[in-house]
Amino acid sequence: MLFTDFKNSIPKLQKVILGGVKEQFRLAPSYRKPYNLTKIKASNPTLASVLILFFPDEHNLTSFILTKRANYDGHHAKQISFPGGKKIPNDANLVETAIRETKEEIGIQIKSQAIFKKLTEVYIPPSNFLAYPFLAVLESKPDCTTNYEVEELLTASLSDLFKKDTVQIREVQTATGSVVKTPCFVFDNQIVWGATAMMLSELRSLFAFISLK
């Protein structure tokens, strides 16, 4: 999708009703079971947020940023995700969390006005996180600088979400060390699975809906 077309589609995207947990679970690991968000929220999970940041590449095609986590002693080491993290007491809200974490992890400072929609929250059992994904837009390709939490920056085209060979079944290692087969997105042979794939699944349904209008 050309970036100009993407920007023109934002008002429509803002009106589209989200697919929710149903769309998330099209790309969920097979061992995960659908959950009730109301019950999850009542269980006092750790709140977090991530930013799905869209920008024009050198060909004016709409792209977004992914991060490969550094190797650390934690549940999500080496996995591919969006910039983001848990809410801290100084954050006024989860939008502020997403903005702060994006600045810390990849060196991009955005304004809250750049955020145009929130996707459905995704529960992440290994870390007990309830992650809120926000969609934001930049007018040009950003100059990123990563911190210690990020091993590598990746970019993917929005059109990649709709390619037939992007969704595959691959073997991955879970937080417990077991190896399972799971549906995932594959961008340049990089496997995107788990919570990030669930977010992308709902995102894909969002764009698929407006493309039919």
Who wins on pLDDT, 180 or 76?
180
Q: What is the mean pLDDT of residues 168-180?
A: 88
Read off the tokens for 152: 């590598």
pTM, to two decimals: 0.93
pLDDT of amino acid 77: 59
Statement: residue 212 has pLDDT above 80:
no
Say if CB 83 and CB 67 are below 8 A apart. Answer: yes
Q: What is the percent of the chain with per-residue pLDDT over 70, rounded to a whole number?
A: 95
Q: What is the mean pLDDT of residues 163-180?
A: 89
Name every residue whose Cβ is closer than 8 Å to that of residue 78 and which is 6 or more positions away in sequence.
68, 69, 70, 71, 151
In this structure, is the dihedral angle defined by the CA atoms of residues 40, 79, 49 and 195, taken in order, positive or negative?
negative
Say if CB 57 and CB 148 are below 8 A apart. Answer: no
Architecture of domain 3-162+195-211 in CATH?
Answer: Alpha-Beta Complex (3.90)
Statement: residue 134 has pLDDT above 90:
yes
pLDDT in tens, 36-81: 999 999 999 999 999 999 999 999 999 999 999 876 655 555 789 9
